[in-house]
Amino acid sequence: MEIDVDVLIKKIPAINVFNRAKNIALLSQFYIITGGDEYLRNIFIEYVISSIFCKDQEKPCRKCLECQKIMNGTNVDVVYFGNDKENIKKEQVQKIIETVITKPFEYNEKIVVVNNFENVSENNQNLLLKILEELPTYVIVLFVSDSMLKILPTIQSRARIITLTNFTNEDLREIFRNENCLKQIECSNGKINNIYKFLANKNFTKYYDFATRLCEAKHIDLLEIIAFFEEYKNDIELILEIIQNIAESKISAGLNQSYLIKLSKTTTKQINLLNTNINKNIIIDQIPVMIYRSENANIRDTI
């Protein structure tokens, strides 16, 4: 899969903040990075860290030894935590503190990245407060989180918060211009993670065609909808997401038909129910009828 990283970088507004990274003295010591998807956050962080260590004039060059070491994870003074998406436990929080207070081994700077920071409990976040108040001058700390809601206000107030935004479909077409993935882009909701997820699914085109027919009000028969969801029930969340994203991209392109709004609301609601409810089967049984009703909604009976 070939993507144009140079084009991608230019499409990230928050990068401008870090063009100052060429002068480390101007950087803040503590950032929280949020928004966008995981792929975008990783690219952004790699850019920032490479900028700090790169020896080239044009930072980051992504070619010099220092840039290489960031890309292949062998810079001993860049330390990552929280990569496995599991709860970050007390021992790991203590390890984070220890790492922060230990001087760099090889360089003048040290970077500590904590991914999935939303998985740190409130109690454990409190343990970090003191060190965040008086960070040693050699360290830059980056907390990465897909939700600010789970981060204590006392932590947030000490950080510089960088919020990344999703790409437009136009941006994505440019970034992926060497790849055949226009359909994946159309239902990606601006997220590169989604494009990879759809490319990896061998039934994607079937789901896309089905979702497109729904979103073009082709009035699919209820029995066909039931049969479709029965056949592909292992991917039910993915199918709902594709319908939702296609409906939303049509709405944002100015097609405000009531059935599209209804399809978008119904799929959002069903996805939430599937995520929060223990008894998934009951919800799965309702989905075809809910989709059928939404697709056939007209002005009279919507919203």
235/125 Cα distance (integer angstroms):
36
Q: Which residues pair with 143 in a beta bridge?
A: 32, 114
Least distance in angstroms from the C-beta of 54 to Zn ion: 3
Least distance in angstroms from the C-beta of 247 to Zn ion: 43
Q: Does 70 bind Zn ion (CB under 5 A)?
A: no
Residue 173 parent element (H or E): helix 169-175
Give the residue with the Cβ less far from Zn ion, 69 or 183. Answer: 69
Give the residue with the Cβ less far from Zn ion, 46 or 241. Answer: 46
Q: Which residues pair with 162 in a beta bridge?
A: 33
Amino acid at 127: L
**What is the contact mask toward Zn ion in residues 179 to 198, using x (rule: CB under 5 A)?**
--------------------
Q: Does 238 bind Zn ion (CB under 5 A)?
A: no
Collapsing DSSP states into helix, strand and coil, what is residue 224?
helix
Stretch that binds Zn ion, among 62-70, 95-103, 144-152, 184-192 (CB under 5 A): 62-70
**What is the contact mask toward Zn ion in residues 22 to 61, using x (rule: CB under 5 A)?**
--------------------------------x-x----x
Closest CA to 168 of 191, 145, 152: 191
Least distance in angstroms from the C-beta of 105 to Zn ion: 20
Least distance in angstroms from the C-beta of 59 to Zn ion: 6
Give the residue with the Cβ less far from Zn ion, 46 or 248. Answer: 46
Q: Which of 17, 64, 161, 236 binds Zn ion (CB under 5 A)?
A: 64
Give the residue with the Cβ less far from Zn ion, 64 or 273. Answer: 64
Closest CA to 247 of 189, 172, 171: 189
One-letter-per-residue 3-state SS of 10-62: HCCCCHHHHHHHHCHHHCCCEEEEEECCHHHHHHHHHHHHHHHHCCCCCCCCC
Which structure tokens are listed for 223? 């029995």
Report the interface residues with Zn ion, using CB under 5 A. 54, 56, 61, 64, 67
